[in-house]
Structure 1
Amino acid sequence: MKVLITGGAGFIGSTVASKCVDAGIDVVILDNLLTGRAEFAHRFPFYCGDIADDKLLDKIFTDHPDIGATVHCAALIVVGDSVSSPARYYENNVSKSLALVSSVLRNGCGRFVFSSSAAVYAPGEGGCVDESSPIEPQSPYAHSKAQFETMLDDIVAATDLSAISLRYFNPVGADPELRSGTPSAHPTHALGKLFESYSTGTPFKVTGTDWPTRDGSGVRDYVHVWDLADAHVRALQRFDRITADSSGMTVVNLGSGRGTTVWELVRTFENVLGEDIDVVVADRRTGDTAGAYASNDRALRLLGWVPTFTLEQGIEDTARWLAVRSHLLNSVSPNVTLSGRRRG
């Protein structure tokens, strides 16, 4: 099998690419390098360009007529940025994704795996959600994912396209072999901000302490990116079986199945790194919710998938990646090392 991975030079796309190759699946990468890194793509046939460039897509399929599936990981993903620049998110995550679908259909590639988000779910009280939980996105980023899912479902019902939408919770960690990791030296998610506080000595902000959760801080489900990559490989390997009897898009949650509050994340981080972190309390951010964690029942049933990495391993792998990132990417990164100490 050969697959096209859009956004394959990004954090998740590059990790999926490595996992595919490890599983004997050939990979072709398309990425505009807006946030991705060419260093992640150099091992694969790589096309630098836009997913909405229909001529480029035609060339890719002409060069690689044996591509049997598309894994669509190309997107803008920063919630706060989407609030300040919503049009940019709708253009990239909806309009251009729609153009991509038209291109893959025109080229006879009927299998489509979409990198979606658990942010599409209605805000709750930090509890468990499954694929039937209400959809009520709270940010332009989340809206863009939900809107494209709606379009994709309609397209699947009307054309030869079959699609699986994988709704990620909160990816952490890195490729265990350190072939790739987060492209940014300063990720915007909570774990990235913790590493920034660790390396610079600046306080970590707990944004919102009045959520309806067990300790007032938001709940997140942190799933290791290598587990996510494994789920993609399983989705590709079982694609035809999963979609055979479906009249629409198939949706699957991917999370650890465990909710972790921000305060619990801080304590776990301190235990893994062996250092105390200065913490300050701040107001809620626009677009934030109390959070949720995944029910993985459908992932187990359809993909045979169970997450195997812990949050502690995700933190350790992130630390290992950030420690070598500047060498591998020839750019500045935080000074991160594992002390080897654990605090009970």
Structure 2
Amino acid sequence: MKVLISGGAGYIGSTVASACLDAGITPVILDNLVTGRGEFAKGRAFYEGDIADGALVDRVFAEHPDIEAVVHCAALIVVPDSVADPVGYYRANVAKSLDFVSHLLRNGCQKMIFSSSASIYETGADFTVDESSGLAPQSPYARTKAVCEAMFADISATQPIRILSLRYFNPIGADPKMRTGLQLRRPSHALGKMIEAWEEGTPFQITGTAWPTRDGSGIRDYIHVWDLATAHVAALERFDTFTEDVINLGTGTGTTVRELAAAFNEVADRPIEVVETGPRPGDVAGAYTRTDLARRLLDWEARHSVAEGIAHSLQWARLREEMLG
């Protein structure tokens, strides 16, 4: 099997590409390198450019007519940035995705997996969600994902393409073989900020401590990026065996930011100091998923622990400068 991965030089897309290679699936990478890294596409068929560039997408399919499916990972993903620049986020995530799907249709592509987000859910009283839970995206970023899902549902209802949305939670870690990891030197998510604090000897800030969780800090479902990647492979391999159009990917266990910091200090060679501050723009209490559907349809479940995710993230942080400069 050969698959086109948009955003395949980014953190998620490049790890999905590695998991594909390990499973005997050939990835073709399309990435404009706005946030992705060319180093992550080395040794792989790579096209530098935008998903909205119809001529480029046509060229990809002309040169790889055996592409059977697309994994669409290309997106901007930073919540506070989406609050500051909603126009840019809607253009990049929604308008360009619409262009991209039109190009796929023109080239006869009939299968697409959309890397969506669990941030679109309305959180229940116990902070758990499943695929039937209500939607209430709380940031422009999250709303771009919800708009894309609705748009794709309308398109797939009448057009010759089926689109599966994988709603995933908070990826951590790196490829265990250290081929790829977080490309950003200063990532904005909690574990990235912990690693920054660890590297610089500065305090880590818990942003928001008055959420209605068990300890007041936000709660998340921290899924190892390799587990996330293998789920994409399972979805590709089983695409024709189920009719559902949404599957959640997570560990099924909620971890608060305080608990994540405690786990970090158990794994790291030196502890970080933890201080408290207010929430960031667009922040929410969080949620974690019930995983029954993924287990049943994909024969998949998360296998790496939060501690392993932290350990792999720290290992990658030590290698990142050597790998990416």
TM bucket (normalised to shorter chain) is over 0.9
Shift of 1:124: 4.1
Once the two structures are superposed, the pairs formed by residues 155-166 of structure 1 within 5 Å of their partners are 155-166=155-166
Any residues of structure 2 matched to 1:283-302 within 5 Å, and which? 283-302=278-297
Superposition map of 1:164-313 within 5 A: 164-243=164-243, 250-313=245-308
When residues 203 and 125 of structure 1 are mapped into structure 2, their CA distance, relative to the original with a 3 A threshold, is farther
Deviations 1:154-199 (A, max 9, x none): 1110111111100010000000000000001111100000000011
Residue 321 of structure 1 pairs with residue 316 of structure 2: yes
Secondary structure of the structure 1 residue equivalent to 2:311: helix
Q: CA deviation at 1:276?
A: 2.3
Structure 2 CA distance for aligned equivalents of residues 137 and 54 of structure 1: 30
Q: CA–CA distance in 2 between the matches of 1:144 and 1:242?
A: 26
Distance 1:125 1:277, change over 3 A: farther
Are positions 1:22 and 2:53 aligned together?
no
Q: 4+ residue runs of structure 1 moved beyond 4 angstroms?
A: none
Structure 2: segments with no counterpart, 5+ residues: none
| Corresponding residue SS for 1:181 | coil
Task: Please state how far the C-alpha of 1:275 moved relative to its aligned partner.
Answer: 2.3
Give the structure 2 partner of residue 65 of structure 1. Answer: 65
Distance 1:229 1:108 in 2: 25
Number of positions where the alignment pairs a residue of Structure 1 with one of Structure 2: 325
2:2 maps to amino acid: K
Question: How far does residue 126 in structure 1 lie from its aligned partner after superposition?
Answer: 5.7
Amino acid at match of 2:323: L
Q: How far, CA to CA, are the matches of 2:42 and 2:125 in structure 1?
A: 43
Per-residue deviation, 1:241: 1.2
Paired with 1:20 and 1:284, the residues of 2 have a C-alpha distance of 37
Give the secondary structure class of the aligned counterpart of 1:55.
Answer: helix
User: Does the CA contact (< 8 Å) of 1:126 and 1:259 recur in 2?
Assistant: no
**SS of alignment partner, residue 39 of structure 2:** helix
Q: Mean alpha-carbon deviation: is it higher for 135-144 or for 284-293?
A: 284-293
Aligned equivalents of 2:151 and 2:182: distance in 1? 29
The alignment's C-alpha RMSD in Å is 0.9
**Deviation (angstroms), 1:274:** 3.6
Q: Which moved more, 1:120-129 or 1:302-311?
A: 120-129
Q: Which amino acid aligns with 2:185?
A: A
Identity of aligned residues (%): 58
1:8–1:126 distance in 2 versus 1, CA, 3 Å:
farther
2:33 matched to which residue of 1? Answer: 33
Instruction: Provide closer, same or farther for how the CA distance between residues 322 and 175 of structure 1 changes in structure 2, counting only shifts above 3 A.
Output: same
Deviations 1:200-221 (A, max 9, x none): 1111111111110100111011
Q: Can you give the 5+ residue segments of structure 1 that lack an aligned partner in the other structure?
A: 332-344
Q: TM-score, normalised by structure 1?
A: 0.93
Residues 241-293 of structure 1, C-alpha deviations (whole Å, 9 max, x = no match): 123xx6xxx10000111100111011000000042211211111221111011
Instruction: Give the whole-Å Cα distance in 2 for the aligned partners of 1:126 and 1:175.
Output: 32
Report if aligned partners of 1:89, 1:144 keep a CA contact under 8 Å in 2. yes
Q: Which residue of 2 aligns with 1:139?
A: 139
* 8 Å contact kept, 2:123–2:129: no
The one-letter code matched in structure 2 to 1:176 is P
What is the CA distance between 1:226 and its match in structure 2? 0.3
- Structure 2-normalised TM-score? 0.98
Q: Within 5 A, what are the aligned runs for 1:109-124?
A: 109-124=109-124
Q: Residues 125 and 212 of structure 1 are in contact (CA less than 8 Å); yes or no, is this contact kept in structure 2?
A: no
Inter-partner Cα distance in structure 2 for 1:232 and 1:139: 25
Match of 1:339 in 2: none
Mapped to 2, the partners of 1:230 and 1:109 lie a distance apart of 22
Mark the CA change 1:87 to 1:126 in structure 2 (over 3 Å): closer, same or farther.
farther
Name 1:77's counterpart in structure 2.
Answer: 77
Task: Work out whether residues 126 and 212 of structure 1, in 8 Å CA contact, stay in contact via their aligned partners in 2.
Answer: no
